[in-house]
Structure 1
Amino acid sequence: MTETNLEEKKLEEENQDNGRNEGLEKEKEDRKENGREGRSRFWKGALAGSLVTAFVVLAAVGMAAGIWIMGRQTQETRQAVLPEPEGEYGLDMGRLAPKLGYMQQLIDQYYLFDEDEERENPEDWIYTGYVYSLQDPYSTYYTAEEYESVQESSNGEYCGIGVQVSQNVNTGIITVIRVFKDSPADKAGMRPGDVITGVGDVDAAGMDLSILVSDHIKGEEGTEVTVTVFRESIEDSLDLTMTREIVENPTVEYDLLEDNVGYISISAFEEVTGDQFKTAADSLLGKGAKSLIIDLRNNGGGVVTASTDIADYLLPDGKTIVSFKGKGVDDSVKITEDGHQVDVPIILLVNGESASASEVLTGALKDNGWATVVGTKTFGKGIAQGIFDLPDGSALKLTTAYYYVPSGECIHEVGIEPDLLVELDEGLESMIEIPREQDNQLKAAMDVAVNGLEEAEKRVEESAAALEAEDGAEEGTAEEGQ
């Protein structure tokens, strides 16, 4: 449409009923309300189709710091600022600037609503959209403010609400996978399995997890935040208001269980996790632990060097931990070399939420015959990201390499199969804290630690057969009663 035609159309609209003009504001509000209702319908529809597979395709796209509040980290390697690229860009820069300028003129002249003077820099939205066009859920553009927030270091203490979450790479759905006991989220009634659909007035649909966390969920101590969640069990949304507070949660927790079985839980991989793990392992072995269970369930990964340090500590020297192959980066292989190894049976507990750096550790120990893996298949994130600093303080996070476990397999979108498949008993997944006497996966791991894999397999098979027979008997009774 030419500018002349646009002017004619504008005059024609100005001559229409005055009541239309008076109703514009109401129309704008109605549109916002309809948008909210539409989002509600979207979430309900999306959940019906995707929650069944959510735990299989959840991705580790959380912050590289402050992960305790909001969940999983990406496997990132910091890169230096690149030199000015040579040659042609992927964009026609000579055509881009004039077109954007003309679009701005049209906005200034014809856009019905006033531009928000406080809106974010429109250039940042252009950069965000450009990176989004890669269609890679792990690649992200960070504004200077977002990048500064993402870089905040974490030592297990942060100010927030006390949850761990994951994001579905296909739908953008953000799901709570862990709620820390006595945290603000726990007190407000948030539960594992809740889907976060909004924070305050911000729609969480499709938003980068690290940005949602750093800009909206985290905040100053004593301030309130309302998180809207969809709960499948009641098929409804809940507004949960809570007061942010300092939450402490170490990356590693450990205990000596019966039969001298040492238990170490790693909830995420931070810079401090390697040292924390070594302290835990040394303490348990010093107390007489004859085996170690390393619990990586719901651990979405994090700093890969923390994972490789732990593998190096457990394995003998000269063993392959992981290898990386990518575009524009040097291929590399990580080999154990610290002169230390742990010579007791090791059992790894994993599930569909064990991703990225968790899979690096799992693959290293399993493929080298140094551990037995119990639980369910891991998530399958076999790619690494690098962060590139930009001159204005912003940053670009890009997927840069595949990683390969020692067998040579890339487990991306494949995952790692356990040696002993044990599904968590129904109903336990929504509990804030699973009592050890009810945790059937932990029981199976302890059985492996004490009696070996073959004996544990027999008991798991017997238990499954008994449950199947019980279910069959119940169905027969129900049919007879009809």
Structure 2
Amino acid sequence: MEQREHTRLWWNQLWRGIVIVALVSGGFLAGFIARGHEPATAQESGDSEFKILNQVDQLVRDNFVRELPPDNTLEYAAIRGYLASLNDNYTFFNDPPVASSESDALAGRYGGIGVDVVRNEAGMIVLYPYPDSPAARAGVLEGDILLAVNDQPLDPNERLDVVRQMTRGEITEEGVGVRITVQQPDTTETRTYDIPFEEIIIPSIAWRVLAEAPELGYIQIKSFTSLTPEEVQNAIADLRTKNITGLILDLRFNSGGLLQESIDVAGEFLNGGTIVIEQSRTTGEMVHEDTPGGVATDLPTIVLVNGGTASAAEVVAGA
């Protein structure tokens, strides 16, 4: 008797699932056909634009057997699916904490352990600690391969913005931080560090005179933050005091940042002309022209790029 009741319940759940699939499938089919014959703008359709999605949501809430994930988990999944349909790797959704952290970083400061996170040419995620950062003081070395975060193995294919968020967090009196496991590229030995979060002021550039060619100044721009244009001006002013006659501008592994700041930096090396043209589906074409009078227009400059140079960094390289 008990087995028969269990079987009956199992079939009820199965048929309920079949009904939901049929309703959802029919809804999607009817929806695409209707939209094909009656195209509507967002203004015309209003809340009905995602009517089928709302129907699916209600069906799941009414009939799904197990406990549902939190609403924000369902909402974020729907957003990611929506954006994935655009087939654009540079259009993606960040959870609010990640978005907030990225905004802080672009402003030039955030709570974290103070590392630059990049993907090397072998596809591994590696760390470059900032001078005197919590990570550097703990013993993290340049080029350390990141293997795990809080004892969870790290997927080398994980998005870099997600990995950066793992190394950032709120600064507390209790010294909350993160545990990371790393490995030097030329060894098999792994090391684990517990590192507290501190306020990190991000140096978006580094500069020096080349020891092997003292007539050349070297400027590396790691990212384009709100502080970068002023930092570049200061770097060039400092290098001029050392009597340089040329510059090397290193944009390798620079994945971008703020567009306007990259335009401002490009202008320091130009003496007029077009820097970049924006083409938008909704607003048309916008041309960004340089204002003559950049601080490095008289210095012959070599620009270094590689496969990690992208976005705002490409604007500067292309200008």
Q: Fold conserved (TM > 0.5)?
A: yes
- Counterparts in 2 of 1:184 and 1:96: CA distance versus 1, 3 Å: same
- Counterparts in 2 of 1:241 and 1:115: CA distance versus 1, 3 Å: farther
CA distance in 1 between partners of 2:238 and 2:135 (Å): 32
- Counterparts in 2 of 1:256 and 1:330: CA distance versus 1, 3 Å: same
Task: For residue 218 of structure 1, report the CA deviation from its aligned partner.
Answer: 0.9
- Counterparts in 2 of 1:294 and 1:10: CA distance versus 1, 3 Å: same
The match for 1:307 is 262
The match for 2:85 is 133
CA distance in 2 between partners of 1:133 and 1:124 (Å): 14
- Which of 106, 126, 131 does residue 176 from structure 1 map onto? 126
Task: For residue 201 of structure 1, report the CA deviation from its aligned partner.
Answer: 5.3
Task: For residue 273 of structure 1, report the CA deviation from its aligned partner.
Answer: 0.7
The match for 1:99 is 56
The answer on 1:185 being equivalent to 2:135 is yes
- Counterparts in 2 of 1:129 and 1:310: CA distance versus 1, 3 Å: same
Q: Which amino acid aligns with 2:128?
A: R
- Counterparts in 2 of 1:232 and 1:161: CA distance versus 1, 3 Å: same
Query: Percent same amino acid at aligned positions?
Result: 26
Task: For residue 234 of structure 1, report the CA deviation from its aligned partner.
Answer: 5.6
1:139 counterpart SS class: coil
CA distance in 2 between partners of 1:289 and 1:228 (Å): 42
1:222-279 Cα distance to aligned partner (Å, 9 max, x none): 2231235577756797654322233344223323345332222222111111111112
Q: Which amino acid aligns with 1:291?
A: G
The match for 1:25 is none
Q: Which amino acid aligns with 2:220?
A: S
Query: Contact 1:264/1:294 (CA < 8 Å) preserved in 2?
Result: yes
Q: Which amino acid aligns with 2:63?
A: L
Query: Contact 2:275/2:315 (CA < 8 Å) preserved in 1?
Result: yes
Task: For residue 314 of structure 1, report the CA deviation from its aligned partner.
Answer: 1.6
Q: Which amino acid aligns with 1:96?
A: L
Query: Contact 2:224/2:257 (CA < 8 Å) preserved in 1?
Result: yes
Consecutive unaligned residues of structure 1, counting only runs of 5 or more, are 14-83, 365-482
1:377-403 Cα distance to aligned partner (Å, 9 max, x none): xxxxxxxxxxxxxxxxxxxxxxxxxxx
CA distance in 1 between partners of 2:51 and 2:317 (Å): 50
- Counterparts in 2 of 1:344 and 1:224: CA distance versus 1, 3 Å: closer
1:246 counterpart SS class: strand
CA distance in 2 between partners of 1:353 and 1:202 (Å): 24
- Counterparts in 2 of 1:235 and 1:133: CA distance versus 1, 3 Å: farther
The match for 2:113 is 161
The match for 2:248 is 293
- Counterparts in 2 of 1:218 and 1:291: CA distance versus 1, 3 Å: same
* Cα RMSD for the two superposed structures: 3.8
1:152 counterpart SS class: helix
- Counterparts in 2 of 1:265 and 1:241: CA distance versus 1, 3 Å: same
1:340-363 Cα distance to aligned partner (Å, 9 max, x none): 452122122333322222221112
- Which of 169, 175, 186 does residue 219 from structure 1 map onto? 169
The answer on 1:10 being equivalent to 2:10 is yes
Consecutive unaligned residues of structure 2, counting only runs of 5 or more, are 14-40
The answer on 1:357 being equivalent to 2:312 is yes
The match for 1:346 is 301
2:308 counterpart SS class: coil
- Counterparts in 2 of 1:141 and 1:297: CA distance versus 1, 3 Å: closer
The match for 1:244 is 197
2:318 counterpart SS class: helix
- Counterparts in 2 of 1:240 and 1:162: CA distance versus 1, 3 Å: same
Q: Normalised by the size of structure 2, how large is the TM-score? A: 0.70
CA distance in 2 between partners of 1:135 and 1:234 (Å): 39
- Which of 199, 212, 215 does residue 260 from structure 1 map onto? 215
- Which of 261, 264, 274 does residue 229 from structure 2 map onto? 274
Structure of greater relative contact order (alpha carbons < 8 Å, 6+ residues apart): 1
2:209 counterpart SS class: strand
Task: For residue 135 of structure 1, report the CA deviation from its aligned partner.
Answer: 3.4
Task: For residue 306 of structure 1, report the CA deviation from its aligned partner.
Answer: 1.8
1:462-481 Cα distance to aligned partner (Å, 9 max, x none): xxxxxxxxxxxxxxxxxxxx
The match for 1:329 is 283
Query: Contact 2:183/2:189 (CA < 8 Å) preserved in 1?
Result: yes
CA distance in 1 between partners of 2:62 and 2:258 (Å): 46
1:138 counterpart SS class: coil
Q: Name the count of aligned residue pairs.
A: 279
- Counterparts in 2 of 1:177 and 1:325: CA distance versus 1, 3 Å: farther
Q: Which amino acid aligns with 1:176?
A: V
Q: Which amino acid aligns with 1:247?
A: I
1:163-184 Cα distance to aligned partner (Å, 9 max, x none): 222469xxxx772253334533
CA distance in 2 between partners of 1:144 and 1:249 (Å): 21
